[in-house]
Amino acid sequence: MKRPTIKHKERSILIARYHHPKSDDYLEYIAEIEIKDAGKSPVQMKLQFDGIIPFVPVMPPKEHVIKAESILDLYSKTKRWLKKYGYILI
């Protein structure tokens, strides 16, 4: 069985805001998305924190990997992961 090859690789910045009316805290992550041509979870995003640590809100992990079956599934998992710590995507 041959190993899956990377079809697409992208690097971008993911910004999330703390969901509270009186808070002005933001998070920045460097997001590296890989799409492979085969496998159970061919879409993968590696997050690495790159910014200022928030003052009051709970800080999510500095490094995290999210695996998914499709791009839409990756978006929903990322949104759910950030919401667990009280953040929303911008």
Q: Tens digit of pLDDT for each residue in 9-49?
A: 999 999 999 998 888 889 999 999 999 998 899 999 999 99
Return the structure tokens found at 46.
Answer: 């590696």
As a three-state string, the secondary structure of the chain is: CCCCCEEEEEEEEEEEEECCCCCCCEEEEEEEEEEECCCCCCEEEEEEECCCCCCCCCCCCCEEEEEECCHHHHHHHHHHHHHHCCEEEC
Q: Tens digit of pLDDT for each residue in 65-86?
A: 999 999 999 999 999 999 999 9
